[in-house]
Every structure is written in C-alpha cells, then in structure tokens.
A and B are shown apart, each in its own frame.
Chain A
Amino acid sequence: MALNPDNPGQSGASAAARAHLTRRVLRGFPGAPGIAVGQAFVFVVKTPHVPSRSIDRTRVEAEKERFGEALELTRSELLALKKRASEMVGDNLARIFDAQILILSDPEIHSSVMAAIENKNSAAESAFDRVVQRTLAKLASSPDAYLRGMRQGIEAVRTRVVSRLLGLPTLGLTDLTRPAVLVASLLTPGDIVGLKKQNLLAIVSEVGGQTSHTTLLAKSLNIPAVVGVSGAVAKIPNGAPLVVDGYSGSVYVAPDAETLELYDRKRQEVIVPWPKKLVALRDLPAETSDGRRIELLANIDMAEETADVLAAGAEGVGLYRTEYLFLRQGRFPTENEQYKTYRQVARALAPRPLIIRTFDLGGDKYFAGTGDSAEQNPALGWRAIRVSLQQRGPFKAQLRALLRAAVGANIRVMFPMIVATEELSAALLLLDQARRELAARGDPVGKVQVGVMIETPASVWIAESLAGMVEFFSVGTNDLTQYTMAVDRGNPRVAHLFRHYHPAIIRAISRTLDCAHRNNVRFAVCGEIASEPQALPLLVGLGVDQLSVHPSSVPRSKAIIRELSYTQARKLAHEVLQLESAADVEKKVNVYYRDHCRHRWR
C-alpha cells in the first residue's frame, strides 16, 4: 500500500499515512544486531475464519479429492520453503519445516477429516478445521512445554491448508517488492523464508523472545531484529520511515534529520576485517621502530561495542559518543540510567581509560518549547555545550553520573564544541557543583581528568588559554574541517571541498599540538583522519600522543605505527607543513605511505 498524500479520495491506510506521522521511539528487545534504515511494511496476519459448511452428498468423493490435492500442494510448498531455509540459513532451522510436514502427513488427522467428509457431508475446510481445533485443545491442556510449543507449527499448517481450500491468498509476503522493514505481530520462519532476501532490511515484531526462530533467522540473514515491541503493528503506520537499532532494541518512527544522519553514518561504517596475522599484535604497544610510544584507543557509540574494543587490542576508549544513549531513550536519560551505562563500560575496560564526551546533540528535541522555531542552521546553532550550559539541571545530571561511575574506574570527560574560555570556565564550575552535590548526598565522588574537543576554529586560536585549564585536547577533525572549510559535507555541490588534508587543518592540528605540549597537556586526534592508514605517518610525525580510531581499525593502525620511524615521520610532517594545497598534501602523504609502509593494509 503506497503512500499517496496527493489523493485525498483514498481512505483507510492512506489516511493514516497522510496524517502527520508521529515521531516516536519504540522500545523492545534486541533480537539480532545491526542498523537498518527504511520504510515500514506492516504485515497483518489474518487467521482465516472457517465457516461450518456442508456439501451435497453427490460431491463427497470430489471433496475428498480436493482435500487430498490441497494437502499435496501444501506439502510441496513446505518442501520448497525447507529447501530455501537450508540454503539461506542452514539445516538446523530448516528442521522447523520438518515438523510442519509431518503434521501435514499425519495419518490420524487425514483419516478423521476423510471420515467427516464421508459421514457428515462436511466441506473439506470445515472438517479439517474441526480436527485441528480438537488437536489444539488437547495440546493446550498438556503439561508438556514442548507439546504446547507445537501449537505454532500446527497453526501454521492450518492457515496454509485452510487458505488454499478457501481460495484465500496465502500470506501475501511475496508483496515485499521493494526493500522494507517488516513489521508484524508474529512472524513464523515460513513467513520470512518466503521473502526475497535483498528486500528484507530488518524485522520488528511484537512477539518473540531473544532465542526464538525469528531472531535466529534474522541473525543468519545478517539483518537487525527488534522483538517484543508492544503494539508495534498499531503504532507504526505502513510506509513510515524507520530506523531500526538492533543493538539496543529501539525502533525510531519518523526520525528527525539528526537521528537519521547519525544512524545512517553508523550503518555505513566500514568495518575493516583483520587479517589473521594482526591478531598477534593485540597485546603489543603502538610504538615506532625508534621508540616513540603512541596511545592507541578506540571510538565507540554504544556500550555494546566495548567487547570489540578489547578484542581489537585498543588501550581504552578515546571517544565515547553519548548521543545514541540519548537518542535511544527519546528523552534525556536520568542520572541513574547514565550512571549504569557509564559504569558498565568503564568496568569492562578497567584499568584502561574511558573518555566520555558530554551531550553533543541539538537541543530542540530534548528541550521543547525553549526556542521560537526550528533552527535555520542547526550545525551552527543551539547544540552541544551551548545546550548543556543553558540546561544546567540535565547537564549536571550527566556530570554526576560520570563522577559516580568514575569511582574505582578510569574515566575522563571532554566538552564538545568549545569556542570560548568562558564556556570552559562555566563547564568546570558546573562540574565542581556536581561534585559538591554528590558529596552532600553522601555519594562517593570519583576523580576525572578533563579535556576539550578542538573542533572549532575559535578553539584553535585560543588553544593557549584553553591549555591552561585542562589536562588534554582531542581534535575532532570532522567538525573542525567543516567549520574551517565552511563546508557542509552532506551538500553534494560543495562536498568536494571537505578535505581534512587541507593545510588549514594540518596547521590547525600542529598549532594546537604545540600549545598543548608547551602546557603539559596531552594531545589526541579522534576524527576520521586518524583511521586512514596513510594519515598515520603524518599524525605521528606531528607529535600526537594519542589516536582514537574505529575498533576495527586498531590492529591495522598499530601495525603501521610499529613500522614507522619517528625521525622520518617528523621530517615528513615538517615538509607537509610547508605545502599550500590539499592536493599537494595528499600526494606527499600517499607517496610516503607507498614507499615506507611495507605492508599495505587495506
């Protein structure tokens, strides 16, 4: 059913679609991991109602034959689905269809139905339905859990056979002609296996536990699944744009631009598979051949990624983006909710550091009614530290959560989008207030190191002052490049101007690094540039102390660093700083990489 806002004559589902789509976040349980972005295809199961029907005495033999045929056709259907299931996901799950095929072939059921047709002039579907209902009733009262579990298989067989006998379209899932997120109350393996694999982006169901057939299938198909979403079918309009977060079990209906952008970016993240030989590097330090030690950490968006960080051999988390925590709740999470998450991650990483970036989203979503209208220019607007400093209550809640989680753990905090020392002062003051509030409550207060993100041109130019107030800097090259180059990387007309090898950015990094080191401040780079292999010699040569990259990039980055000569890298950096164009920098950096990094890690 397509959305058709231009045709006011259409009723029913289209009317619902035309009505303003309520933006909401639905919570369920994570069934299978992954992120999907797409339109909802809401599938409503219609269990056929079977009227009690009699046939004419003369039609008895024909009716028996009709029943036999229906059984045969259903049997073929199930065998075909079983074969597909085997090909798609392997033999284990294909066995689900075995049970259904056996039910279909059950001689007792068969003879009961034939007897009813013969002796009571029942229509085939009425007779079959009665026999099945009797069987279901017997099962319902059984103390055996497995018998009760057979219900699903019998119901599935009933629906197929009865639909065929009544001439009803079977299930209709072949209607999935375009990629979509399947939303249903309950999904059986038969439903899923019959679909075109490439059109199934994700599964959202009301029923289903984390070990049900549905979730097992979703995992095998490598698509996200969120189960246990109460009222999903009623709450999600057909055709509504959705973001499905299979990691946390969240479904965003009609997500706003910011949510969409953040999740789309996450979805497109390139996960670099590691060659086996890199596994050996896991416990080795990221040290150049001539002894310069770099701290190599990882960036995470979600607590669920902590295991990846450890598996990759990262020395901690250099950037924990707390945005997704906020997005998933659909509201500002409470102090306790945040505390639990931060503590969980910190403990898993201990004694390695966990560097948490405070609230970095636009404020309108969480603090409605505080602005006059939607912002014209959100990237330059009310977001990040600007929101935090104006919404002190919630900001302090985040700070208190951090401070509490820091007890017996290694947590550092950094503030995003700083443009003035006054902002930093205000933030530090609030941090202090948060400490005192905890003390007054009798809660233990942990120690945290404080840093700032260098991601605005202003922060680059006042780096000297900022350095006097914090313990570390972390450069977010993505935003720094956008603001410095005055470019919206999402705008196809000008996206080509977004180049983090532009001398302006390299010089900005170099300049702030010098300020930092003069003031005994640690210097990290956590933007995308750090994940590029060819950027590593340059960054190391500039003198960075710490790099934070995507977990899957850690092994490769370490391998490259271990092969570098710091002396030579410094020479490279010095030469790069003399160049005047992005193209020149890129060329020099690529040539160096080609000539000096013996093992090319793709």
Chain B
Amino acid sequence: MVEKKVTVTNPLGIHARPAALIVQTADKYKAEVRLVRDDLEVNGKSIMGVMMLAAEMGAVITIRVWGDGELECARALERAFAVRFDDD
C-alpha cells in the first residue's frame, strides 16, 4: 500500500471540477483508492464520495492506494491535487 499526505491548494477547494479530475485520474488504475480527511474516508473513484469530502483550501488529505500500479496512481493523484484550475 502507498500512502501520501497532500494539502489542498486550490483556493475554492475540491469542488466539481477538481473532483472530476481526481476521479478520472483514479479510474485509470486498477488499484483501490481511498481518500481520508480527519475521520471521513471515501472511495477515490466515486465522484459523490470525493465531493462529500468537502475539502476546502488548506485541508490535509491522506491518499491510500493499494493494488496494481499503486505507486503511479498515488503519484498521479498527488499531481491532480496540486493542479489549480481556472476557476470562473
């Protein structure tokens, strides 16, 4: 299992667009993905789950990935969290 801690840098938090990117990234890999924030754990491939995290800017999320391609997946997700969108 690979575990990484990330901080949300997007000023508007994880709203619809970043959530979509996170899920689409996770979907590319066979590995299982969980995102944990405080005591709330969600399935990283579930759009509803990721949005329920309601992670605002500054929130610290733990990414847990296990299975095929877990390392690449974790890295890709780390990058996804770092992307700042053109929020209109």
Contact = CB atoms under 8 A, between A and B. Distances in A.
Interface of A: 95, 98-99, 102-103, 105-109, 135, 138, 142-144, 146-147, 149-150
A26 B43 CA distance: 48
B43 A107 contact: yes
Contacts of A109: 46, 48
Per DSSP, are chain B's interface residues mostly helix, strand or loop, or mixed?
Answer: helix
Contact of A107 (B15, B16, B24, B46): B46
A150 B16 contact: yes
Given A144-B54, A147-B54, A103 B16 contact: no
> Which of A99, A103, A109, A144 neighbours the largest number of chain B CB atoms within 10 Å of its CB?
A144
A81 B80 CA distance: 27
Contact of B23 (A102, A135, A143, A147): A102
Given A138-B52, A142-B54, A147-B54, A106 B15 contact: no
A106 B48 contact: yes
Interface of B: 12-13, 15-17, 20, 23-24, 27, 43, 45-49, 51-52, 54
A150 B54 CA distance: 13
Contacts of B13: 144
Given A102-B24, A142-B54, A147-B54, A108 B16 contact: no
Closest 7 CB pairs of A and B: A146-B15, A102-B47, A108-B46, A106-B46, A144-B54, A146-B16, A106-B47
A494 to B, nearest CB: 56
A98 B51 contact: no
A102 B24 CA distance: 8
23 contacts: A95-B17, A95-B20, A99-B47, A102-B20, A102-B23, A102-B24, A102-B47, A103-B47, A105-B47, A106-B46, A106-B47, A106-B49, A107-B45, A108-B43, A108-B49, A138-B52, A144-B13, A144-B54, A146-B15, A146-B16, A147-B52, A149-B16, A150-B16
Contacts of B49: 106, 108
Contacts of A105: 27, 47
A99 B48 contact: no
A54 to B, nearest CB: 26
Contact of A99 (B20, B52, B54): B20
Contacts of B17: 95
Contacts of B48: 103, 106, 108-109, 135
A98 B49 CA distance: 16
Nearest to B43: A108
A329 to B, nearest CB: 35
B51 A147 contact: yes
Contacts of A99: 16, 20, 47
B20 A150 contact: no
Contacts of B27: 105
Nearest to A103: B47
> Which of B16, B17, B48 neighbours the largest number of chain A CB atoms within 10 Å of its CB?
B48
Contacts of B16: 99, 146, 149-150
Contacts of A144: 13, 15, 54
A459 B20 CA distance: 70
Nearest to A147: B51
Contacts of A146: 12, 15-16, 51
Contacts of A95: 17, 20
Nearest to A104: B47
A187 to B, nearest CB: 20
B51 A150 contact: yes
Given A146-B51, A150-B51, 13 more contacts: A98-B20, A99-B16, A99-B20, A102-B47, A103-B47, A105-B27, A106-B47, A106-B48, A107-B43, A108-B48, A135-B48, A144-B15, A150-B16
A138 B49 CA distance: 11
Contacts of B43: 107-108
Contacts of A108: 43, 46, 48-49
A459 B25 CA distance: 77
A432 to B, nearest CB: 54
> Which of B20, B47, B54 neighbours the largest number of chain A CB atoms within 10 Å of its CB?
B47
B10 to A, nearest CB: 12
A146 B88 CA distance: 12
Contacts of A107: 43, 45-46
Contacts of B23: 102
B20 to A, nearest CB: 6
A102 B50 CA distance: 11
A102 B20 CA distance: 7
A106 B24 CA distance: 11
A19 B79 CA distance: 64
A131 to B, nearest CB: 10
A103 B16 CA distance: 11
